[in-house]
Amino acid sequence: MTNTWQDIKNANVVLVMGGNAAEAHPCGFKWVIEAKIHNGAKLIVVDPRFTRTASVADFYAPIRPGTDIAFLSGVIRYLLEKDQVQHEYVRAYTNASLIVKEGFSFKDGLFSGYNAETHSYDKTDWQYELDEQGFAKIDDTWENPRCVINLMRQHVDRYTPEMVSRICGTPIDKYLTICNLIAGTSLPDKAMTSLFALGWTQHSVGSQNIRTMAMVQLLLGNIGVSGGGMNALRGHSNIQGLTDVGLLSNQIPGYLTLPKDQEQTFDDYMKTRQFKPLRPNQMSYWQNYRKFFVSFQKTMFGDAATAENNWAYDLLPKLNVPMYDIIKAFEMMVHGEINGYICQGFNPLQAFPEKNKIRRGLSKLKYLVVMDPLDTETSRFWENVGPLNPSDPAKIETEVFQLPTTCFAEEDGTLVNSARWLQWHWKAAEPPAKAKSDIWIMAGIFHRMRELYRKEGGAFPDPILKLTWNYTDPVEPSADELAKEMNGRARADLKDASGAIAVKAGQQLDSFAQLRDDGTTESGCWIFTGSYTEKGNMMARRDTHDPRDQGITPDWAWSWPANRRILYNRASADVAGNPWNPAKPIIQWDGSRWVGIDVPDYGPTIKPSDGVGPFIMNAEGTGRFFALDQMVDGPFPEHYEPMESPVENLLHPKVQNNPAARVFADDRADFGTPEQFPYVGTTYRLTEHFHFWTKHALINAILQPQEFIEIGEVLANEKGIANNGWVRVSSKRGHMICKAYVTKRIKPMTVAGKPTHVIGVPLHWGFTGLAKKGYGANILTPSVGDANTQTPEFKAFLVNIEPSNGPEGEV
Amino acid sequence: MTNYQSQNFIRISATTMTPPATRNHEAEMAKLIDVTRCIGCKACQAACMEWNNLRSTVGTFNGTLENPADLDPHTWTLMRFTEHENDKGDLEWLIRKDGCMHCEDPGCLKACPAPGAIVQYENGIVDFVSENCIGCGFCVKGCPFNIPRISQVDHKSYKCTLCSDRVAVNLEPACVKACPTGAILFGSKQNMTDWAGERVEDLKSRGFANAGLYDPPGVGGTHVMYVLHHADTPSIYSDLPENPKISATVEFWKGLIKPVALASFAAAVVTGFMHWVIAGPNEVQPEDEEAADRIIEGKNAPKSSPELPT
Amino acid sequence: MTRPLGTLIRNDTATRINHWITALCFVLLVISGLSMFHPVLYWLSAFFGSGQWARQSHPWIGVVLLLSYSGLIIQFWRDNLWNMDDVRWMMAIRRVLANDEEGVPEVARFNAGQKFVFWSMAVLVPVLFITGLIIWEYYFGTWTSIPTQRAALLIHSLCAIAAILVWIVHVYAAIWVRGSMRAMTQGYVTPGWAWRHHRKWFRSLVATGSSGPRPNDVRREAGE
């Protein structure tokens, strides 16, 4: 989230699209209700199904799964056509005026630089025209046709209301009503918040879904302001923390990236990461990358990281592919390229696409270690549970180690919520039986491995042998100690500009501004610096004081970065430093410095007249309509059909799907066609459950006991499916037999002139736990991810459905 | 469930005695369920199960999102879902938290034959005192909202207590505490009614011309009230009664009949006694025996015996 | 049972057992039923141990009563058929009540008052049984709608009140008409009792040489 949960109450319009906040985030949804009741906000819901969120919406419109880019590109077109944009904001705070390099073009669904063999782009031309000093050229009059705003206008021109309706299945009148409601927030003192979740990320165009909305928000001047923002509602209490500390195969903590194969030297590595300013006077904060990286290396390797050895750069692994995501990992498992798997707090047999493929992969392993508080399906993948899990244990040689772990309430620690708050929590109960903390288990594995490396050597023992492990209790380092390490400390006395000692050696750091690239500081995760200082554990603070009752509580827990609650908050004020919305200011210029209720996302004393842009992480200091080379599938978002789609791409039939998506050959062979599988499937959560966990809890199992799918009345009648009757839902990859919920909440949509039916597949069931046994939605879903992040396409795929005699019919 | 506030009763089932308290100082309390801001998350159901330590059985999918399928002795509150298409053809998903309404004039209490099994506190809460319950099910017949359920295990009647145990120590009911959207509020009936008025204004401004408060006068008002978008047609919310009142049948059965029956029994006995006093017993007289003997002898005499005189 | 020589059998052993089972059931039903009917009578449930026991026993006793009373119906229905004697007897009810039975039209085994009791119960018992089933929460609580159950409760109560009134008449009559009690306890009456109260019945016994409770089948006797 750019903003906070509480800040949602300041919105004038709440758009829930690509998510189902009431259902999946019922607690946070209180702020939407607050906005409605106390701020007169209008709630708009755009979703294939009439959801629980829609039940309290002021306006609902249906949309075919996987067509959000078309819908939102249409909104951009509408805003530009009606000229309902926040002009001053767009001119000053976005890259609308910058001029794009001549070589960049878009034609018939492809951007310039496409390589059909590698399914990837050469992104050289996805850049600005630069002047002699290396700054981007600009035309404030917007007359130059190569201005970003003009290229964008041209790009979205195809998304007429008629075209949007034909692609998305949204009736034109409903679509235009929504455009009109959204456009109302282009006024400087009006704001719309965008609440989204996996409904946008779980697509082969997931990242671009979100980008399109971000562009809408930039046009409306809704980024950085109170009640605005792009608010990703994270699907897990600590999934924000997972990305923050870099638990992805291509990252290291704090959104630093792992080196690639080609970057054999530290200099190579730094070349593409120290972003030089693209406009005069800009902060381009990533210029400090080296300080963050060196401090990270000092945490990892301590004295073994020196200036001479380039801060132990060589001890880091180098990626030979863009990433080893889970889809890739299971592809490798199936081909015997991965044969051991430590599965920590993860249940891929239920949670990842193509259940049958996951089981095939696990069956080929030599060993599988499952660390989980629950008896997961993954740990029992070998068990023959009939059609629900048709394994043959006699043919599986995988040795499975099930290590029961503690759950969050049984340990101290912190979780990072959607609003980037690190909230400390305290152990509330003893773990049951022999459950051990993940830290204890990982430390044990580390010590044994280090011992083996010490004794036996091996190809490259250094990264393990040189890893620092200076914890008071090396067997089970305390959460406090680990948190302090994340925050970072001075390794030598740090002096300020005047030469006085600012931080003594060994002291905790207060801010990432104190980090140095000379090895005198260390920090495990630079964005967390400030969370555990000499003053104590800032994450454990519990002061609800809210100075303006605007949902900003600076002394409650701690928010990264720098305890900042609303990102880009410089953009809440106009160029002169006065709030766009005087009723809800965040920060403003008082003549000498930036003051307000939040930590400025800006230099605190930078004068408005200095012309420093509010988006300080970007090299040009502005928000980007044109994303340069940051996305693998284009600087502008484009509508591509899901990998399995019932219709051809109306905009460019020859480029049906995301051309930059990575699809493995055997996965592509498992895609179905609309002739065999004519209906659109989409998966989702129900409010009564959390993923595959809560079916182990009796109350949740009582509240939602059994697997079912949702189907509209029209299709049910057509197929002779009765409410509460049994159905067989199948995709090219597998099938499930479950109950049908025939509902008025799913209606056929007219797409490209044809009726299109959506079948909803809730995902919570499996073969362990207290609820009735079920298949799980991933028996149906295709193994393909977002081109940028590889988040699986769970939200749009093809299925067929027919009445069934129930599980007895299964042999 | 329990008998915490025995000095605060204003009504007690099956008693002819005057209850100890009259409502003279404690505010009437009420739970306000704002259906228009409820998202049907069932947190209230879970909280109710946890606080009251209730666990129904893991059921089956039954063609709706309602689980368990109905109120039961372990399910004192239940989200009911209705897919309603309005006049404009737009879908509305009406989600109502069902449970005891805590009527000011409780039909269950009126019907209950067990002294003290159902009581009403002066704050308005209608509570079942299990140790006094005899499991007859009359409360089920008395209730205009079809709420109480009889346990097949201990044969006692159960329903929402409005967390009388929590309220007695100044805590809000568990469902109120758990509700994430503030759709369930608890306070004095006056405050709840006032707040409902504000909500109704807001709803009217959003196009719900018939928005209103459900506080049915037929049962003297309730201590659980609903804010409805369509207060003119409560029945679209999973058969919420349009104009609930204690059934005339029940009123008659628990009203006039009782004294009339006792009086008639007494009258019958007294009449008999008076008859005894006046007429005395009807005893067989010696003449009767003689007459009988004559007949018997006549029968045993020769066949020509004449007919006996009458 | 010893029966003094020359007395007549008014009720044979099976009938008496049947009657007293019915009577016991009825009394228990009245006690348990009234305990659930009016608060001032709730104390009656103490006879069963508790309200729960009273509530639980009541329907089962009702089932026994129905079976038991069915036995009485089978045994008595023919002798309770209404005829013109009953009308004449009813016309003379004042003399009956005044214990002045001379001149009251002769009746057979049962008089109109007894027949009234019999038929009242023959109607009320099945109605009580059926409405009782409807409101038998444990087994049939979900079989019918709540409005039906409410109606059943009301009918059950009204019928029970009627039955109790009839029962009071019945009991008083047994006390009032001396010899009746013995007729149902020991089973016999004196010829004088029969002569006084059921002269036609008495004559029919004498005529067929029967000692009761029913006249012998004359034709069969003749055939022997």
Domain ranges of chain A: 6-235, 665-809
The secondary structure element, H or E, covering residue C13 is helix C13-37
Of A26, A701, A745, nearest to B93 by CB-CB distance is: A745
Instruction: Indicate if the pLDDT at residue B77 is higher than 80.
Output: yes
Give C8-211's CATH code, choosing from 1.20.950.20, 1.10.760.10, 3.40.640.10, 2.40.50.140. Answer: 1.20.950.20
Q: Per the residue annotation, which of C19, C58, C156, C170 is the catalytic one?
A: C170
Q: How confident is the model at residue A572 (pLDDT cuts 50, 70, 90)?
A: very high
pTM above 0.90, yes or no: yes
Closest CA to C163 of C134, C131, C135, C123: C123
Average pLDDT, chain B: 91
Q: Same domain for B278 and B239?
A: no
Say whether B284 and C175 touch across the interface (CB within 8 A).
no
Q: Is B299 in Cβ contact with C206 (below 8 Å)?
A: yes
For testing the chain B interface, which of C35, C42, C60 should be mutated: the one with the most B CBs within 10 Å? C42
Higher pLDDT residue, A307 or C102? A307
* Confidence band, pLDDT 50/70/90 cuts, at residue A275: confident
Lowest mean pLDDT among A188-202, B2-16, C81-95: B2-16
Does residue B97 sit in the same domain as residue B221? yes
Residue of B85, B94, B182 with shortest CB distance to A33: B182
CB contact under 8 A, C192 and B288: yes
The nearest CA of chain A is from the CA of B243 a distance in Å of 26
Domain extents in chain C: 8-211
Is the domain covering A665-809 a CATH 2.40.40.20 domain? yes
- pLDDT number for residue B113: 95
Confidence of residue B307 (pLDDT cuts 50, 70, 90): very low
Q: Are residues B307 and B209 in the same domain?
A: no
Whether the pLDDT of residue B304 is over 60: the answer is no
Distance from CA of C74 to the nearest CA of B (A): 29
DSSP letter string, A546-607 = -TTSSS--TTBSEETTTT-SSTTGGGGB-TTS-BSSTTS-SEEE-SSSEEESS--SS-TT--
Contacts of B among chains (3+ CB pairs under 8 A): A, C
Same-domain check for residues B101 and B117: yes
Q: Which CATH superfamily is domain A6-235 in?
A: Dimethylsulfoxide Reductase, domain 2 (3.40.228.10)
Q: Is residue B282 part of a domain?
A: yes
Kindly indicate the confidence band of residue A788, based on its pLDDT and cuts at 50, 70 and 90.
Answer: very high
B-chain CB neighbours of C209 within 8 Å are 299
Provide the number of CB pairs (under 8 Å) joining chain B to chain C: 161
Nearest-neighbour CA in chain B from C13: distance (Å): 23
Q: Which residues contact A694 (CB under 8 A, 6 or more apart)?
A: A688, A700, A701, A764
* Joined tokens for residue C82: 């209404």
B29 and B92: one domain? yes
Contact B93 A701 (CB under 8 A): no
pLDDT cut 90: percent of chain A above it:
98
pLDDT at residue B309 tops 80: no
Distance between B241 CA and the closest CA of chain C, angstroms: 14
Q: Are A and C touching by the rule of 3+ CB pairs within 8 Å?
A: no
The answer to whether residue C58 is catalytic is: no
- Selecting from B37, B41, B90 the residue whose C-beta is nearest the C-beta of A687 gives B41
Across chain C, which distance is largest between two alpha carbons, in Å? 64
Domain boundary among B245, B262, B296: B245
Is residue A522 within 8 Å of A486, Cβ to Cβ? Answer: no
Query: How would you class B183 by CB atoms within 10 Å of its CB: exposed for 0-12, middle for 13-18, buried for 19 or more?
Result: buried
pLDDT tier at B305, thresholds 50, 70, 90: very low
**CB of B181 less than 8 A from some CB of A:** yes
- Asked if the Cβ–Cβ distance from B49 to A52 is below 8 Å, we say no
User: In the structure, what pLDDT confidence band is assigned to residue A425 with cuts at 50, 70 and 90?
Assistant: very high
Cβ-nearest to B275 among C97, C202, C203? C97
Strand ranges (E), B39-189: 77-85, 91-99, 118-121, 126-128, 149-150, 157-158, 184-188
Q: Is B88 in the same domain as B185?
A: yes
Burial of residue B106, with CB atoms counted within 10 A of its CB: 0-12 exposed, 13-18 middle, 19 or more buried: buried
Condensed to tens digits (0 to 9), the pLDDT of residues A745-755 reads 999 999 999 99
Query: Quick check: B83 and A33 CB within 8 A?
Result: no
Instruction: Label residue B5 by pLDDT band (50, 70, 90).
Output: low
**How close A807 gets to chain B, by Cα (Å)?**
14
Do B169 and B211 share a domain, yes or no? yes
pLDDT value of position C40: 93
Token reading at A580? 């766009």
The yes-or-no verdict on residue A68 having pLDDT over 90 is yes
Report yes or no on B191 lying in a domain. Answer: yes
CA–CA distances in Å: residue C145 to residues A27, A166, A259, A608, C131? 39, 51, 73, 75, 13
A701: burial class by Cβ within 10 Å (0-12, 13-18, 19+)?
buried
Instruction: Among B50, B181, B195, pick the best mutation site for testing chain A contact (most A Cβ within 10 A).
Output: B181
Across the interface, whether the CB atoms of A26 and B181 are under 8 A apart is answered yes
Alpha-carbon span B158 to B149, nearest angstrom: 5
Residue B64, chain A, CB below 8 Å: the answer is yes
Mean pLDDT of A389-402: 96
pLDDT confidence of residue B7: 66
**Does residue B214 sit in the same domain as residue B307?**
no
Helix or strand or coil: residue A16? strand
Domain of B146 in residue numbering reads as 6-245
Q: Are C152 and C127 in contact (CB under 8 A)?
A: no
φ and ψ at residue A179, rounded to 5 degrees: -55, -45
Q: Does the structure show a pLDDT above 90 at A361?
A: yes
The rounded distance, in Å, linking the Cα atoms of A648 and B80 is: 41
Q: Is the peptide bond before A26 cis (omega within 30 degrees of 0)?
A: no
Nearest by CB: C51 against B134, B253, B282? B134
Residue of A nearest to B45 (CA): A703
Min distance B252 CA to chain C CA atoms (Å): 8
CA dist A246 and A217 (Å) reads 27
* Cβ separation A704–B95 shorter than 8 A: no
Rounded mean pLDDT, A384-407? 96
Q: Side-chain half-sphere of A589: how many Cα atoms within 13 Å?
A: 19
pLDDT tens digits, one per residue of B153-200: 999 999 999 999 999 899 999 999 999 999 999 999 999 999 999 999
Low-confidence residues of chain C: pLDDT under 70: 1, 218-224
Give a yes or no: residue B1 inside a domain: no
Number of domains in chain B: 2
Query: Is C138 within 8 Å of B258 when comparing Cβ atoms?
Result: no
Suggest the residue from A50, A55, A773 to mutate for an interface test with chain B (most B CBs closer than 10 A): A55
Are A770 and A698 in contact by the 8 Å Cβ rule? The answer is yes
Cβ–Cβ below 8 Å for B249 and C147: yes
| Chain B residues lying within 8 Å of C192, measured CB to CB | 284-286, 288-292
pLDDT of A532 over the 50 cut: yes
pLDDT at residue B276 above 50? yes
Q: How far is B110 from chain A (nearest CA, A)?
A: 33
Residue that is last in its domain, among B197, B225, B245: B245
pLDDT-based confidence at residue A809 (cuts at 50, 70, 90) = low
Rounded CA-CA distance A624/A615 in Å is: 9
Average pLDDT over residues B61-76: 96
pLDDT exceeds 90 at position B9 = no
- Pairing verdict, β A399-404 and A367-372: parallel
Mark whether B271 and B170 lie in a shared domain: no
Q: What is the pLDDT of residues B138-151, one digit of tens each?
A: 999 999 999 999 99
Give yes or no for residue B310 having a pLDDT over 70: no
* Contact state of B284 with C193 under an 8 Å Cβ cutoff: yes
Mean pLDDT (chain A, rounded): 96
pLDDT tens sequence across B27-55: 899 999 999 999 999 999 999 999 999 99
Whether B226 and B284 map to the same domain: the answer is no
A665-809 has the same fold as A6-235: no
CATH assignment at residue B210: 3.30.70.20
The band of A196, judged by pLDDT with boundaries at 50, 70 and 90, is: very high
Nearest neighbour of A52 by CB, restricted to B39, B55, B91: B39
- Regarding chains B and C, contact by 3 or more CB pairs under 8 A is answered as yes
pLDDT of residue B24: 61
| Cross-chain Cβ contact B155/C176 below 8 Å | no
Q: Does the distance separating the beta carbons of B250 and C150 come in below 8 Å?
A: yes
List the single residue in B with minimal CA-CA distance to A30.
B181
**B61 part of contact set with chain A, CB < 8 Å:** yes
Interface-testing mutation among B32, B34, B36, B41, with chain A (most A C-beta atoms within 10 A): B41
